[in-house]
Amino acid sequence: MTGLLSKGVNSMSLEKLKIAKKIVGVKQVTKAVEKELVQVVYIAQDAEQRFVETLRTLCERKNVAVEVTLTMAELGSACGIEVGAAAVAVLK
Protein backbone atom coordinates (compact mmCIF):
# COMPACT_ATOMS: atom_id res chain seq x y z
CA MET A 1 0.00 0.00 0.00
CA THR A 2 1.51 3.29 -1.08
CA GLY A 3 0.75 6.72 0.31
CA LEU A 4 -0.35 5.80 3.80
CA LEU A 5 -0.82 9.45 4.70
CA SER A 6 -3.82 10.44 6.74
CA LYS A 7 -4.79 13.63 8.47
CA GLY A 8 -6.12 14.17 11.93
CA VAL A 9 -5.96 12.25 15.12
CA ASN A 10 -8.74 10.44 16.86
CA SER A 11 -8.94 9.71 20.55
CA MET A 12 -7.83 6.10 20.02
CA SER A 13 -4.63 7.17 18.21
CA LEU A 14 -3.87 9.78 20.85
CA GLU A 15 -4.46 7.28 23.65
CA LYS A 16 -2.25 4.79 21.82
CA LEU A 17 0.44 7.45 21.51
CA LYS A 18 0.32 8.25 25.22
CA ILE A 19 0.89 4.65 26.32
CA ALA A 20 2.92 3.27 23.41
CA LYS A 21 6.63 2.64 23.26
CA LYS A 22 7.74 5.53 21.09
CA ILE A 23 10.60 7.57 19.71
CA VAL A 24 10.46 11.36 19.51
CA GLY A 25 12.24 13.67 17.06
CA VAL A 26 12.78 13.66 13.30
CA LYS A 27 16.34 12.27 13.38
CA GLN A 28 15.56 9.44 15.78
CA VAL A 29 12.29 8.58 14.03
CA THR A 30 14.10 8.49 10.67
CA LYS A 31 16.68 6.06 12.06
CA ALA A 32 13.94 3.81 13.47
CA VAL A 33 12.03 3.80 10.16
CA GLU A 34 15.23 2.87 8.31
CA LYS A 35 15.66 -0.09 10.70
CA GLU A 36 11.99 -1.08 10.16
CA LEU A 37 11.14 -0.77 13.86
CA VAL A 38 8.14 1.54 13.38
CA GLN A 39 4.42 0.86 13.24
CA VAL A 40 3.16 4.42 12.59
CA VAL A 41 4.66 7.92 12.39
CA TYR A 42 2.90 11.05 13.60
CA ILE A 43 4.03 14.35 12.06
CA ALA A 44 2.95 17.67 13.57
CA GLN A 45 0.83 19.76 11.22
CA ASP A 46 3.00 22.83 11.86
CA ALA A 47 6.37 21.08 11.42
CA GLU A 48 8.65 22.71 8.85
CA GLN A 49 8.34 20.74 5.63
CA ARG A 50 12.07 20.88 4.92
CA PHE A 51 12.65 18.83 8.09
CA VAL A 52 9.95 16.21 7.57
CA GLU A 53 9.81 15.73 3.79
CA THR A 54 12.63 13.16 3.75
CA LEU A 55 10.93 11.30 6.60
CA ARG A 56 7.62 11.22 4.70
CA THR A 57 9.35 9.86 1.60
CA LEU A 58 11.15 7.21 3.64
CA CYS A 59 7.89 6.17 5.31
CA GLU A 60 6.23 5.77 1.93
CA ARG A 61 9.15 3.68 0.66
CA LYS A 62 9.11 1.50 3.80
CA ASN A 63 5.31 1.23 3.78
CA VAL A 64 4.91 2.92 7.18
CA ALA A 65 1.66 4.75 7.93
CA VAL A 66 1.99 8.51 8.48
CA GLU A 67 -0.56 10.66 10.31
CA VAL A 68 -0.36 14.45 10.13
CA THR A 69 -1.74 15.58 13.44
CA LEU A 70 -1.74 18.15 16.21
CA THR A 71 0.72 21.00 16.55
CA MET A 72 4.31 20.45 17.59
CA ALA A 73 3.47 21.66 21.11
CA GLU A 74 0.45 19.35 21.38
CA LEU A 75 2.34 16.37 19.98
CA GLY A 76 5.19 16.96 22.44
CA SER A 77 2.72 17.27 25.30
CA ALA A 78 0.98 14.03 24.26
CA CYS A 79 4.39 12.36 24.51
CA GLY A 80 5.00 13.75 27.98
CA ILE A 81 7.74 16.20 27.01
CA GLU A 82 7.81 19.93 27.65
CA VAL A 83 9.00 20.93 24.18
CA GLY A 84 7.43 20.57 20.76
CA ALA A 85 7.89 17.47 18.66
CA ALA A 86 7.87 17.54 14.86
CA ALA A 87 7.68 13.75 14.58
CA VAL A 88 6.91 10.77 16.80
CA ALA A 89 7.09 7.08 15.93
CA VAL A 90 5.19 4.30 17.65
CA LEU A 91 7.39 1.21 17.69
CA LYS A 92 6.26 -2.26 16.63
pLDDT in tens, 33-60: 999 999 999 999 999 999 999 999 999 9
**Phi-psi domain of 49 (left: phi exceeds 0; alpha: psi -120 through 50; beta: other):** alpha
Q: What is the pLDDT of residue 10?
A: 54
Task: Specify the number of domains making up the chain.
Answer: 1
SS3 call for 82: coil
CATH code, domain carrying 67: 3.30.1330.30
* 85 pLDDT above the threshold of 90: yes
Distances (CA, A) of 91 to 46, 52, 81: 23, 18, 18
| pLDDT exceeds 60 at position 87 | yes
Share of the chain above pLDDT 70, in %: 84
Enclosing domain of residue 40: 24-91
Residue 53 has φ and ψ, to the nearest 5°, of -60, -45
CA dihedral 67, 27, 53, 43 (to 10 degrees): 20
Taking the complete model, does pTM exceed 0.75, yes or no?
yes
